[in-house]
Chains A and B, each alone.
Chain A
Amino acid sequence: MKPKVAFYWCASCGGCEEAVVDLDEKILDVANAVDIVFWPVALDFKEHDVEAMPDGSILASFINGAIRNSDQLKMAKLLRAKSQVVVAFGVCAQLGGIPGLANLSDAKGVYAEVFKDGVTPERLYKNNGHSLTLPEFYDTVVELGRVIDVDYYVPGCPPTPKIIGAALGALLGSELPPKGTVLAPDQALCEECPRKDTRPEKMLLKEFKRVHQVVADQQTCLLAQGLACLGPGTRAGCEALCPRGNMPCTGCFGPTSRVRDYGAKALSALASVIDSDDEAEIARVLDAIPDPAGLFYRYSLPSSFLGRRRME
């Protein structure tokens, strides 16, 4: 019998599902090697089908997205019980991701922003004798590992086909990697960046530029050109997709294993290269970074030390 595999999405954009489909014909190899028993975006299996399975009967569940409501929490716990291995798939499940930026606000703030002039959904809705209860929308978004035990992490927004292929290979291989492993190379992105050789020995910058203010040179190190490239603080594995597209790294592969708070470390790396000893000038240079939390915690706010903005 082929090993059983499940895919599920929580608070995410659907890009991680797309990434699985992006395996192209390799998806047929996956389908040959495993039996996909649950994948709401593509296959018609329901929650009660999963509930009916014996505990531990699924070899691996790939869960993408952060946890931001009670339904996602329930499904994460259900899949955890039914699976031998749970893989946090993509940076939202790993570190909180883009939905995690909601932690700069709270449930009330998010509702006010999203449903500003429209109809705000009520948790309990009644019509014609029928009633519908919506999941509870939490004030705080958390990463998957905070609510269930996670065995492996596949980073990326979304994970690239190569990373997914390597991860599947590692999980179907004879020897499983140690629990807690992030299934991507444990080195900085600069190591696989085609612009690496143009990176100056001693990086010193008089100013930062934002991407819309400059046409970046195609070959030179983006950070050396003054763009806030987070490659030096980000894990490799994507083969420098963004720098190849002439855009600075935004850090979606998260930190390497030595770093505990991605944003703090990325901030440290970027600030240190400012070529000034004068506080006023440093402040002026940093004005080109108007939203430090959004830049440095773009993908990792829930898993950072502070986790969220202080609630009033």
Chain B
Amino acid sequence: MPETFEPKIVAFFCNWCTYLAADLAGTSRIKYAPNTRVVRVMCSGRVDPQFILDAFAKGADGVLIGGCHPGDCHYQEGNYKMLRRFVLLKRLVKQMGIEDDRLRLEWISAAEGERVKTVINDMVAKVRALGPRAVACQKEVA
């Protein structure tokens, strides 16, 4: 592993809670690791498993999904749908050789700017310890 490895983490944050929390972290001048690329989605329920696998396939070292706390979803149950898919997807990516710490789901409300910092710093540290995710290694047969 090179000394300078900086993990690339793709984060899908919901418009109503986690994205606002990240915004709050910013306006509160809270400092956290600069390794995440945040993608704003309307709801964590909008995060298609295809997005997550595509991110991994394109070289993401980790994928973080942030949604509203259970019961708080702006669309009633989008976060529950994400939770159901997440539990199954976790098992699938494990079979594909992707370690547990590389895929994470967190409920972060609009008031929890501090928690954005905690979660991102923790995830970056864990993924950094795992090292770069070797991209698929599709053997060039052509």
Contacts and interface: CB of A to CB of B under 8 A. Distances in A.
Q: Real complex partners, A and B?
A: yes
A279 B87 CA distance: 8
A207 interface: no
Nearest to B53: A305
A309 B133 contact: no
Contacts of A265: 48-50
A310 B83 contact: no
Contacts of B84: 271-272, 274, 276, 282
Contacts of A257: none
Interface stretch (A57-65, A134-142, A151-159, A209-217): A134-142
Contacts of B48: 264-265, 268
A219 to B, nearest CB: 28
B80 A277 contact: yes
B97 A310 contact: yes
Interface size on B, as a range, is 20 to 34
A306 B96 contact: yes
A296 B70 contact: no
Q: Say whether chain B's binding surface is mostly helix, strand, loop, or mixed.
A: helix
Contacts of A291: 95
Contact of B95 (A104, A139, A307): A104
A260 interface: yes
A308 B137 contact: yes
Nearest to A104: B95
B92 A139 contact: no
Contacts of B54: 260-261, 305
Contact of B97 (A142, A263, A267, A309): A309
A147 B140 CA distance: 9
Interface in A279-312: 279, 282-283, 286, 289, 291-293, 296, 304-311
Interface size on A, as a range, is 35 or more
Contact of A282 (B77, B83, B92, B141): B83
A264 B85 CA distance: 9
B120 interface: no
Contacts of A142: 138, 141
Residue among A70, A292, A306 facing the most chain B CB atoms (10 A cut-off): A306
B33 to A, nearest CB: 24
Contacts of B81: 272
A283 B88 CA distance: 8
A268 B54 CA distance: 14
B35 to A, nearest CB: 21
Contacts of B42: none
Interface of B: 48-50, 52-54, 56-57, 70, 77, 80-81, 83-85, 87-89, 91-92, 95-98, 133-134, 136-139, 141-142
6 contacts: A140-B138, A265-B50, A267-B89, A292-B88, A306-B136, A308-B96
